[in-house]
Structure 1
Amino acid sequence: MGRWPEKDGGYRIRGPVKARFASATPRDPASWRRLGKWEKPRPGEVVRRRIVSVVPAYVWDVSRTHGAPLPELPRPRLLEGEAPAGLWEGLTEQAESLGFEVLRMPRDRIERGANGCIDFETRQVMVCADMDPAAQVKTLAHELAHVRLDGPNQRDDAREHRGISEVRAESVALMIAAAHGMDTSDYTIPYVAGWASNVDGKDPVAVVRATGEQVRSTAF
């Protein structure tokens, strides 16, 4: 990236040391064997990397580095234009069937100035009215996913990690929008990537994959 760290400005951590293991029968834990540095797997073998030890290593906070400007991370871009005919009404009917009232509100009336939010006590779904209809209906799909997946009685890991909850809800919104010919990728991809990266102790890709079945069943 063309940047360098300040002298003595790093944090000492335990860095993982990984080794390659191979197996022709990966379901059998006892079948895995460690490969040598230049050793190739045998035909038909599966290769995986595993942590075998840790060594002292250093990392630096970006504020303690200098050099080339840091690239800007992509930010979610609100959808523009009209919404598919009937989609808002259909999603509203689903929310009402679950006992929730759908309200369009000015942004300054919504908690933290968000695009949308839910009040589970008053059973209200609020969507920011200061957006184009396409963004409003995508937001309603997102909040409806929260209604179905993240109610007070839910007892899964999303209750502990908001990032998991947000990844699921936005992924559901993407699938609903795509089914009606809407492309939400400019908003959804940066949004999901950002929240998945904020789940402590979990790989972002693993977070997204783990939500797959819940997303599919909720969207359909």
Structure 2
Amino acid sequence: MAKKGFVKKSADEKKQEVDHLLSLLDNGVKSFEANPEKFKALLEMQAMFRSYTFRNTMLIQAQMPNASYVASFKHWKTLGRSVRKGEKSLRVLAPRFKKEKDETTGVEEQKLIGYISCPVFDISQTEGEPLPIDDVRLKLEGESDEAEIIYAWVKLLAEEDDCSVEVAFANGANGYYRPSSHQIVIDPKLTVNHKAKTMVHEYVHSQLHRNDNSTQEERECVAEGVAFIVCSYFGLDTSDYSFEYVNGWSKDGGKSLMKYGTIMQKAASAIIADIERIATSLPTPAAETTELQNQAS
């Protein structure tokens, strides 16, 4: 089992390393260049799905915050996909019209008489034929020893805080943190490396964002930034994923990312210290790493 990432460093060495990784994150996010193939796939996806009104967009987000591509049951069928059994539909409002004859002109016109609720489903609720976005979906590949250890230690940290961790279908996301039940869910389809990175990301949410009023931009940039620093510190490079993720959430392409720098530095340093505390006081949690390997197979 790899030990490099768990060599105890002095306080000064630790601060220098965290600051260096924070600088790498800042430069990596700012210099990130969009993949033209991904842009093409996004345009193709946009053409496949109808646009919703602002009101319906808000309705969809309220019912499923992670929703991305939404369509009716029938439309998913035309795309070669079917809604998974047991999935609960989202509801949007569709206008209802009635033909009425204009008393002056005698011409029949469509008159809006109200709205009806219609069922729709997000792509995460479907299965079947691949779509253009599937080939360029952001993911972190690999099955490293470092990732197994990081996942196991951070899971122990979460459980110390009475935050349960469940490996289960994550509603189309890689994982999520549920503040109401103080629970982390990690999707089982992820690679070991991706599970470890997501575990740190959601743990940051559980520590910093349970009851705060920060913006979604801040929450996601901070959680992913800290995940990059912590994972990199212990030998797992997540830059291929993290730079694009933070760039996507940052409204200005990462130019003002360092406004969250102090928050990320403090949070990453605290998590690193806690991991080192557990790593030196407990044996390597072999059962946890074996479980993670089994989930990936």
Q: Which of 149, 155, 162 is residue 86 of structure 1 equivalent to?
A: 149
Residue identity opposite 1:212 in structure 2: G
1:120 match? 179
Deviations 1:157-191 (A, max 9, x none): x2xx2111100000000011101111111100110
Residue 169 in structure 1 maps to residue 223 in structure 2: yes
1:76 match? 138
Cα distance in 2, alignment partners of residues 184 and 80 from structure 1: 10
**Larger strand percent:** 1
Deviations 1:122-158 (A, max 9, x none): 2210011111111101100000011111112x24xx2
Cα distance in 2, alignment partners of residues 88 and 176 from structure 1: 11
SS at match of 1:118: strand
The answer as to whether partners of 2:155 and 2:165 remain within 8 angstroms in 1 is yes
**Larger helix percent:** 2
Can you give the 5+ residue segments of structure 2 that lack an aligned partner in the other structure? 1-35, 40-135, 270-297
Aligned residues: 137
Cα distance in 1, alignment partners of residues 152 and 254 from structure 2: 34
Cα 1:149/1:83, change in 2 over 3 Å: farther
Residue identity opposite 1:78 in structure 2: L
Q: Which of 116, 122, 137 is residue 196 of structure 2 equivalent to?
A: 137
Post-superposition, which runs of at least 4 consecutive aligned residues in structure 1 deviate over 2 A? 70-77
Deviations 1:63-91 (A, max 9, x none): xxxxxxx7745863323222415222210
The answer as to whether partners of 1:79 and 1:184 remain within 8 angstroms in 2 is no
TM-score normalised over the length of structure 1: 0.57
Cα distance in 2, alignment partners of residues 110 and 137 from structure 1: 15
2:240 match? 186
Cα 1:87/1:209, change in 2 over 3 Å: same
The answer as to whether partners of 2:158 and 2:164 remain within 8 angstroms in 1 is yes
Residue identity opposite 1:103 in structure 2: E
TM-score normalised over the length of structure 2: 0.43
Cα 1:185/1:203, change in 2 over 3 Å: closer
Residue 211 in structure 1 maps to residue 260 in structure 2: yes
Can you give the 5+ residue segments of structure 1 that lack an aligned partner in the other structure? 1-69
Cα distance in 2, alignment partners of residues 92 and 180 from structure 1: 15
Q: Which of 69, 76, 95 is residue 158 of structure 2 equivalent to?
A: 95
The answer as to whether partners of 1:76 and 1:189 remain within 8 angstroms in 2 is no
Percent identity, aligned pairs only?
24
After superposition, residues 48-59 of structure 1 pair within 5 angstroms as: none
1:25 match? none
